[in-house]
Amino acid sequence: MRARLLFGWCTAGFLAVTLSLGPGAGVQAAAPTADLVLLGGKIITMDRQFSTAQAAAIQGGKFAAVGTNGQMQAYVGPSTRVVDLHGRTVVPGLIDSHIHAIRQGLTWDAELHWQTVPSLAEGLRMIRERAARTPPGTWIVVAGGWHESQFTERRKPTPQEIDAISADHPIWVQYLYDEAMMNRAAMTAVGLTAETKDPFGGKVLKDASGQPTGVVTGFGGINAFYFKIPRPAPEDQVSGTRDWFRELNRLGMTGVGDVAGGGLIWPGDYRAVTALHDRGELTLRVHWYMQPNRPGGELDVIKRFVTEVRPGTGDAWLRPVGVGEQVLASAYDGDAFGPLPPQFSPKAIDDWRAAVRMIIESGWRFQAHATRNHSAEQLLPAIEEINREIPVQNRRLAFAHMEDVTPDTIRRIRALGGGITIQDRMVFSGDEIAQNWPPDIVQNAPPMKAMLAMGLPLGGGTDATRVAPYNPFVSLWWIVTGHTVAGHPIRAPRANLSRLQALRVYTLGSAWFNMDEDQVGSIEPGKNADLAVLSADYLTVPADQIKDLVSVLTIVGGRAVYGAGDYQALAR
Ligand SMILES: [Zn+2]
């Protein structure tokens, strides 16, 4: 303990000296020895000047200095590990400000993932292969994260194709939050019969004779049955979370704003991520939201949360940051990509006012889902009313999605000190939106340029894992090109962000929503050493290849958590 304290003091004292020299400097007469020095790269620091550096020194989990190869040589001592970047591009660790990561971790190892599967034939082969090597009765689950337009066949499987694979293994194939199909074994396992009624917010499809077809639709319909699938054992949930976070590390991710999601029950379902944290095995910084997930009873859950959990608790690895994304089921517009936005009931607005009041009065904040501008217009008056009593400007209240947000709503959110998190759901749903919304809205969706021009804080992300791919490079590609996964150009080129703007949104921008932009999000002395060394140059690779980038070395808090090729040994 004494050694640790001493070490902490030394680091802090040293950093104060370095910082006083200003960005990019960090050289002093007797530089202390670094743990790790990275040389010979193209480091996109994301500092105020968007400056690029050759080299960086890491000490005690933080960046000690950033500069030229010559400057960093001064930090190399006998025990320093020196890594040659071979000219590779380095970016600050990527942060997804809106992802359902904790939920996915619980089942990651048990499920099949179709995110990068190029054909339906290959997807079905994966299911057959899993059925051939698992005992009868074992569930085979594809829980979204794919789109029919990514397949060469350009279509979804049919219920008959799923049913033909196995009579002994229950099979579940989910498509976005549109529908899920089950084979007969799965229907038996979840108790789906001719008598089953439509659940709230969904439908059970039946044939002419009244028998269920195995297809259920809608957010409510899917959740009503998905959560009947048995969860992996607790220790498997822990290892699933560990493996899933490593997969995100492979893609350069070092942090998430976890927006809970349907079915993730606080606090029980946070046990796996907490166990990883307590064992010191987290490789991703997790900032989490609490979603009540009790339709009609949300106020009770929120009350319990704000009473039992205090803002500012947790640490740099695992920290609660608010309520959301679905604060109330009744004031939630889902994936409202249709022509007309939903209208909330007067009761829903009353409950929303009560929820916001409870959250604000207790010192908390929220990130609230709103696909449509019209939904935010219905939710904003209650916040503005409470703001006149208790100023909320320092709470960083966030709306998520908002693909059709108007300048007036941007102004109102800005005036409340809030921001918007954007996601690449349109890589899957862009064509549907283009059919239903006016062209001038679609060509701007979401209006990121207007948001930045108006000074609105913007966070990057995916909304993975059900309705969008989790790959941050697919999202960065979408921000700078506006294309769907099928390659259709949806957004007008003038409305796309530049690569540097997109990267800033995905690093410092997201960090702002996690309230730790002073700790992460850029490669600057004193900040946590979170970075990714990329497989190709993000700034100069052809735009269409941005989505193919991966990390070859990911470092979080100074520790290598993923390495490929030459760097594999570093991550052991
Ligand atoms: Zn959402």
- Residue 232: is its pLDDT beyond 80? yes
- 314 three-class SS: coil
For 235-252, write each residue's pLDDT tens digit. 999 999 999 999 999 999
How large is the average pLDDT for residues 456-469? 96
565: left (phi over 0), alpha (psi -120 to 50) or beta: left
Provide the residue ranges of all domains of the chain, joining segments of one domain with +. Answer: 2-87, 111-226, 234-513
Tally of helices (H runs) and strands (E runs) in the chain: 19, 23
Q: How confident is the model at residue 572 (pLDDT cuts 50, 70, 90)?
A: confident
DSSP code per residue over 48-90: TT--EESEEEEETTEEEEEE-HHHHHTT--TT-EEEE-TT-EE
How large is the average pLDDT for residues 161-182? 96
Residue 368 Cα to ligand 1 midpoint, Å, equals 8
Residue 293 Cα to ligand 1 midpoint, Å, equals 13
Residue 566 Cα to ligand 1 midpoint, Å, equals 39
- The pLDDT of residue 18 is 36
Q: How many CB atoms lie within 10 A of CB 312?
A: 9
558: left (phi over 0), alpha (psi -120 to 50) or beta: left
Residue 7 Cα to ligand 1 midpoint, Å, equals 43
Residue 463 Cα to ligand 1 midpoint, Å, equals 7
Instruction: List, in sequence order, every residue forming a beta bridge with 255; answer none if it has no partner.
Output: 95, 285
Fold of 234-513: TIM Barrel (3.20.20)
- Its CATH architecture, for the domain 2-87, is Roll (2.30)
Residue 112 Cα to ligand 1 midpoint, Å, equals 23
Residue 345 Cα to ligand 1 midpoint, Å, equals 19
Q: What is the mean pLDDT of the chain?
A: 94
Gap between the Cα atoms of 247 and 448, Å rounded: 28
Q: How many CB atoms lie within 10 A of CB 298?
A: 23
Beta strands in 259-397 (DSSP E): 285-290, 318-325, 366-370
How large is the average pLDDT for residues 282-299? 97
- The pLDDT of residue 168 is 96
Residue 369 Cα to ligand 1 midpoint, Å, equals 5
- Residue 21: is its pLDDT beyond 50? no
Residue 288 Cα to ligand 1 midpoint, Å, equals 14
- The pLDDT of residue 9 is 31
Residue 534 Cα to ligand 1 midpoint, Å, equals 29
How large is the average pLDDT for residues 60-71? 98
Residue 325 Cα to ligand 1 midpoint, Å, equals 6
Residue 535 Cα to ligand 1 midpoint, Å, equals 31
Residue 22 Cα to ligand 1 midpoint, Å, equals 40
- Residue 27: is its pLDDT beyond 90? no
User: For the ranges 366-370, 381-385, 486-490, which has the lowest average pLDDT?
Assistant: 486-490
- The pLDDT of residue 71 is 97
Q: What is the dihedral of CA 66, 72, 76, 81, to 10 degrees?
A: 50
Give the burial string for 84-99 (b: 16+ CB within 10 Å, else e).
ebeebbbbbbbbbbbb
Do 111-226 and 234-513 show the same overall fold?
Answer: no
Residue 85 Cα to ligand 1 midpoint, Å, equals 38
CA distances from 456 to 356, 407, 410, 420, 512 (A): 21, 11, 7, 8, 11
How large is the average pLDDT for residues 264-279? 97
For 478-514, write each residue's pLDDT tens digit. 999 999 998 999 999 999 999 999 999 999 999 999 9
- The pLDDT of residue 201 is 87
Residue 150 Cα to ligand 1 midpoint, Å, equals 22
Residue 367 Cα to ligand 1 midpoint, Å, equals 9
- The pLDDT of residue 520 is 98
Residue 261 Cα to ligand 1 midpoint, Å, equals 8
Residue 98 Cα to ligand 1 midpoint, Å, equals 8
How large is the average pLDDT for residues 82-98? 98
What DSSP designation does 284 have? S
Residue 370 Cα to ligand 1 midpoint, Å, equals 7
Domain 111-226 belongs in CATH node 3.10.310.70: yes
Please say whether the dihedral angle defined by the alpha carbons of residues 22, 558, 461 and 314, taken in this order, is positive or negative.
Answer: negative
Residue 401 Cα to ligand 1 midpoint, Å, equals 7
CA distances from 559 to 334, 459, 530, 548 (A): 39, 25, 8, 25
Task: Please give the order of strands across the beta sheet that includes 89-92.
Answer: 52-53, 42-44, 89-92, 531-534, 551-556, 559-563
Gap between the Cα atoms of 80 and 129, Å rounded: 47
Residue 314 Cα to ligand 1 midpoint, Å, equals 24
For 294-329, write each residue's pLDDT tens digit. 999 999 999 999 999 999 999 999 999 999 999 999
Residue 259 Cα to ligand 1 midpoint, Å, equals 8
- Residue 449: is its pLDDT beyond 60? yes
How far is residue 554 CA from its own chain's centroid?
17
Residue 101 Cα to ligand 1 midpoint, Å, equals 13
- The pLDDT of residue 104 is 97
Residue 334 Cα to ligand 1 midpoint, Å, equals 7
Higher pLDDT, residue 355 or 4: 355
Residue 399 Cα to ligand 1 midpoint, Å, equals 9
Residue 37 Cα to ligand 1 midpoint, Å, equals 40
* Dmax (CA) of the chain: 85
- 398 three-class SS: strand
Instruction: List, in sequence order, every residue forming a beta bridge with 91; answer none if it has no partner.
Output: 532
Residue 277 Cα to ligand 1 midpoint, Å, equals 26
- The pLDDT of residue 32 is 85
User: By the 8 A CB rule, do 402 and 446 touch?
Assistant: yes
Residue 400 Cα to ligand 1 midpoint, Å, equals 6
Residue 262 Cα to ligand 1 midpoint, Å, equals 10
Residue 281's contacts (CB-CB under 8 Å, 6 or more residues apart) are 242
- Residue 230: is its pLDDT beyond 80? yes
- The pLDDT of residue 222 is 95
Residue 447 Cα to ligand 1 midpoint, Å, equals 17
How large is the average pLDDT for residues 199-211? 94
How large is the average pLDDT for residues 156-183? 96
User: By the 8 A CB rule, do 495 and 565 touch?
Assistant: no
How large is the average pLDDT for residues 345-363? 98
Gap between the Cα atoms of 427 and 446, Å rounded: 12
Residue 380 identity (one-letter amino acid): L
Q: How confident is the model at residue 424 (pLDDT cuts 50, 70, 90)?
A: very high
